[in-house]
Amino acid sequence: MAGVIRVAVVDDDRMLLDGMRSWLGGAPGIEVVATVSTVDGLLARQAASGAALPDIVLLDLLLRDGSTPTDNIRRLLATGTRVLVISTVPDRTRIIESVRAGADGYLTKDNDLPTLVAAVRDIVAGHGAHSPELAFACAHDSSPSRPSLSPRERQILLDYASGMTLKSAARRAGITVHTAKDYLDRVKAKYRQAGRPAYTKIDLARRVREDSLDAG
């Protein structure tokens, strides 16, 4: 089954778990390998079976076992899997916390199957899942940990973090390399002041993803 995306669902709603298995089971190129009610249950099941962890976990935001969303996300990421958070409501604060913890996307449960499948495929391909809920939350995020970037600072950051050289980013913006470096230095200073330093291109790319700066 080469090329098949292995999906696990963690949710404490039994009817939703059964529905997800049936729903996703008909999507080409996707195999549901586990449906469990807790992250502990998923990790224990995988350890006992010796099977490889799924490519992506659809994780319910709030589980009744007392676990916290951010801890669940970090535990799953530590195994090498990707995480798409699913929730009944677009809770702006929790959306931001989930993405900062490393989740690759956030969808509410009222989305249709094509939207969910597209998000799963985008995430496994290395792209974030940009939903309206996520875009809205990030656009209205005024927490001290999210620096306020000018349009030009954001443009240089996005181009540079996407893989461009600083020279190419400057050329695209119609400015000198020296000016582009000034903008990038300001971006780094703002993230440092916010307590989220970004010293390298990899760090900057991570901040772009965490803050969904490329979502719109």
- In order of 100, 103, 121, 140, the CA distances from 143 in angstroms are 12, 18, 30, 9
In this prediction the pTM is 0.67
Beta strands 82-87; 56-60: pairing state: parallel
Say if residue 195 is in the same domain as residue 135.
no
The answer to whether position 183 is within a domain reads yes
Residues 100 and 59 in one domain: yes
Distance CA 130, CA 119 (A): 8
**Same domain, yes or no: 178 and 200:** yes
The CA–CA distances, whole Å, from 152 to 157, 169, 179 equal: 8, 11, 11
Residues 99, 183, single domain; the answer is no
* Enclosing domain of residue 180: 151-211
For tokens 């319910």, what's the residue? 60
Question: Is residue 171 one of the residues assigned to a domain?
Answer: yes
Strands 5-10 and 82-87: unpaired
| Same structural domain, 168 and 195 | yes
pLDDT for 23 equals 87
Answer yes or no: do 58 and 89 share one domain. Answer: yes
Secondary structure of residue 195 in the 3-state scheme:
coil
183: left (phi over 0), alpha (psi -120 to 50) or beta: alpha
Statement to judge: residues 47 and 126 lie in one domain: yes
We report the CATH number of the domain holding residue 169 as: 1.10.10.10
Domain count, the chain: 2
Q: Report the alpha-carbon distance of residue 100 to residue 97 in Å, rounded.
A: 5
Is position 73 within any domain? yes
Shared-domain flag, residues 117 and 169: no
| Same domain as 189, residue 135 | no
Residue 154's SS3 state is: helix
Within a domain: residue 145? Answer: no
The CATH number assigned to the domain holding 111 equals: 3.40.50.2300
Q: Is residue 144 part of a domain?
A: no
- List average pLDDT for each run of 10 residues in the chain, which is 216 residues long: 83 87 87 93 88 90 90 93 87 78 85 89 80 59 73 90 91 92 90 86 85 69
pLDDT of residue 214: 72
User: Could you tell me if 108 and 157 lie in one domain?
Assistant: no
